[in-house]
Structure 1
């Protein structure tokens, strides 16, 4: 490996050069104190080493608060860092750029788990992976709940927008094309992509979008965001005179409050983006009516999404038949509920299909269908099945990204070899082609209302015209909002 030095608008960076690739790691893209909006990074003097990841944002997922993922060498509130993976050689001229937004239920995760070296080399694209504030630090509405207007709404989304502004202003220094940027994410990252496509603050910052399992229906409305923030205030014994305490208390106290609030909720997460009328539209209905960014879209979901949540501790999403039926009845009324339920057998397989459709599959497809009315759109369904859990939520990540080791082989359902490796390579090639050209290539027909052609990813791919047509018709383009005020 060799040291590669470049000049950027903020200062000199020294990255790591290896065969066909240079990695620039741990680059600060913004600066922010707790519960403040991200601001610009001060320029540095001398050469900054970009040879190791920056710290990821503090996080807590589940009931136990662990100090090592709050403040340590690898985690901390100084976490607004990104990583740039640049291929060497390949096409002449500026490289198109993909910005990866990680998932993790808006409570966990970070950029550092995603080694984009293979994707950058194979696709001849620059890949940028970003951190953003999550959980109580990024997605709790203290401002409206406590009358504290100094705290911005949706801080985590503001971080994502700041990262895209950094890409716009700086990626040319790395050989990237700021006029050809595609945002891509999975789960909470996919929901973030859908929200950025609606945000007036993000317009013009990207030119393509890839959504992998998740859309606008799985966030909170304003009423719910206020109610949950008041739960935090009660746990922390806060009122509107306590802004300074909120900004200076031990991070562990905030995370303990997040754990307390999480235990009080059913089929919900204790922190999520909400419709604020600023970064986002003011309501879900407004979001559905708001024109999406006029960019190409590649979107999809896994067939058996909800199986992951059957296995996880707690109940952050509805998975039980009675809960699913109750949500449908409360939001759609008895007639449409009956029509929808009539298309799912009252069996384990039917429950998995209904839970998957309600949470991820239908909302992602409905978003794509609305977008396709005026913009080029492609849609897929991931059907490759793990022998124990089927085509569960997140299984596609184990194909797309080069996670290694015995544990990941067990999660994947086998080693990353043979037909599994070929499936992952196809998925990466389609995304890279989309980043370069605005379409996935491979004679993949657009998703259009007349035919609704969907690519079925499996060990051998196929195409289907309007799959599960009876179920799709019964939903009639509507989405359940699990995060509606309650």
Structure 2
């Protein structure tokens, strides 16, 4: 592979040319001390070698603490890196840019798993994949819970905004157009996109958005964020004098507390963004009435989202009838809850439909419908089904991205070939067209309140008008917030 040098504001970076693309890996976009605001990186001399992935942010998803995902060659607190994939050839002039925000329940994940070389080449776009702080390092409200204003709110979201500022300031050097940036994400990444859409700090940093399974309802209000941070404080023995200890304690101790707090919760995660009145509006109610960014939106969700959470260990989202019913009655009231429950048969299929609607489908669709009143919007439903898990949460990733290996073939429901591969190509083509032009192309009608037309992705796609209309009408545009529980 041939070395390529690009000049950024902080210094030169050295990437590698591949077959039809050039990639720059592990570029530092910001630096941050533990529980500190992301800041500009210090300039460097010489050419920074951008030929291997940077370390991903420390993380722990589950009980036992593993050192290998905290500090080492592949993980560490110096993790605010991004990767740039630039296609060779294609249309002349600066290319539109897609910024990918990974998922992982705000507790795990990273940019390195997403090889964007194929997407960049097929779509003739520059693709940027980013890391951001997750779990206790990115989304625990120690500042309010302990009276420590030196710890800013929502550090993981601040990291995402810092990455978008880096793109604004540097992407032209890589052949990208800073005036045509679209943000995209799945699951926690999709929720992040929805939050950036209402964040005053992110305004003007992007020009379109793609949300894949998730919107503003699956995060915490301020009161819940304080309660959970107090749980951490109790486990660790923290008080208002503990700032220095928080910043210097063994990372394994912090992550161990995260595992302990996780064990105390039901249908919830121990760390998530919250409505803070700074990066985000002050409450969920304010968010619903806040103007979204004046940009086009492409959004959607999978038909059987909740099946993944039935199959995986842990208990982070409600999926059982008693939990679903209790949430509906508590937040919607008896009469409205009864109308919603009447729309779902009292059987396994109805439970999967209700769990999927409550957690991902309705919040994403409601967000899109509110946005469609003022801005161009397109919506989809992902119906391609795994033989065991159905059209579950995250299955779309296995079709869209070039994950390789036997385990990924099992997760996908088969090899990346034939009609399954064609589905992935269609999805990438629609996203790339949206990144280039602000619409997905392919005779895909806009979503609006009159017709509610959407695309159904499957081995053969179709356009439907207001599918499952009675079920949608029963929600009356309301969302339930699982993160409001005790």
> What TM-score results when the alignment is normalised by the length of structure 2?
1.00
> Distance in 2 between the 1:425 and 1:64 partners?
39
Q: What stretches of structure 2 of length at least 5 have no aligned partner?
A: none
Matched, 1:186 2:213: no
Q: Which structure 2 residues correspond to residues 381-420 of structure 1 after superposition, within 5 A? A: 381-420=381-420
Deviations 1:186-242 (A, max 9, x none): 000000000000000000000000000000000000000000000000000010101
> Distance in 1 between the 2:256 and 2:441 partners?
48
- Contact 1:6 1:14 (8 Å CA) reproduced: yes
Q: Which structure 2 residues correspond to residues 212-251 of structure 1 after superposition, within 5 A? A: 212-251=212-251
Deviation at 1:292, TM superposition (A): 0.3
Deviations 1:45-100 (A, max 9, x none): 01111000000000000001100000010000000000000001000000000000
Corresponding residue for residue 430 of structure 2: 430
SS at match of 1:84: strand
> Distance in 1 between the 2:96 and 2:139 partners?
31
Deviation at 1:18, TM superposition (A): 1.3
Corresponding residue for residue 322 of structure 1: 322
Deviations 1:16-64 (A, max 9, x none): 1012100000000001000000000111101111000000000000001
> Distance in 2 between the 1:399 and 1:444 partners?
20
Deviation at 1:437, TM superposition (A): 0.1
SS at match of 1:269: coil
> Distance in 1 between the 2:335 and 2:5 partners?
64
Deviations 1:330-381 (A, max 9, x none): 0001101110111100000000000000000000000000000000000000
- Contact 1:223 1:485 (8 Å CA) reproduced: no
Corresponding residue for residue 474 of structure 2: 474
Q: Which structure 2 residues correspond to residues 301-380 of structure 1 after superposition, within 5 A? A: 301-380=301-380
Corresponding residue for residue 154 of structure 2: 154
Corresponding residue for residue 73 of structure 2: 73
> Distance in 1 between the 2:18 and 2:68 partners?
31
Matched, 1:272 2:268: no
SS at match of 2:108: coil
SS at match of 2:217: helix
> Distance in 2 between the 1:132 and 1:479 partners?
27
Deviation at 1:12, TM superposition (A): 1.1
SS at match of 1:483: helix
> Distance in 1 between the 2:156 and 2:393 partners?
23
Deviations 1:442-485 (A, max 9, x none): 00000000000010000000011001100000000000011115
Deviations 1:372-408 (A, max 9, x none): 0000000000000001010000000000000011100
- Contact 1:83 1:130 (8 Å CA) reproduced: yes
> Distance in 2 between the 1:66 and 1:485 partners?
29
Matched, 1:144 2:144: yes
> Distance in 1 between the 2:203 and 2:48 partners?
31
Deviation at 1:108, TM superposition (A): 0.3
Deviation at 1:185, TM superposition (A): 0.1
Deviations 1:303-331 (A, max 9, x none): 00000000111110000011000000000
SS at match of 1:292: coil
Corresponding residue for residue 43 of structure 2: 43
- Contact 1:222 1:485 (8 Å CA) reproduced: no
> Distance in 1 between the 2:330 and 2:26 partners?
46
> Distance in 1 between the 2:446 and 2:346 partners?
34
> Distance in 1 between the 2:63 and 2:46 partners?
44
Corresponding residue for residue 175 of structure 1: 175
- Contact 1:221 1:485 (8 Å CA) reproduced: no
> Distance in 2 between the 1:14 and 1:145 partners?
44
SS at match of 1:197: helix
> Distance in 1 between the 2:366 and 2:8 partners?
41
> Distance in 1 between the 2:166 and 2:8 partners?
11
Matched, 1:462 2:462: yes
> Distance in 2 between the 1:174 and 1:35 partners?
31
> Distance in 2 between the 1:120 and 1:302 partners?
24
SS at match of 1:381: strand
> Distance in 1 between the 2:485 and 2:356 partners?
22
Deviations 1:387-439 (A, max 9, x none): 10100000000000000111000000000000000000000000000000000
> Distance in 1 between the 2:169 and 2:36 partners?
22
Corresponding residue for residue 199 of structure 1: 199
> Distance in 2 between the 1:397 and 1:7 partners?
33
Matched, 1:449 2:440: no
> What TM-score results when the alignment is normalised by the length of structure 1?
1.00
- Contact 1:380 1:454 (8 Å CA) reproduced: yes
- Contact 1:125 1:436 (8 Å CA) reproduced: yes
> Distance in 1 between the 2:43 and 2:242 partners?
33
Cα RMSD over matched residues?
0.5
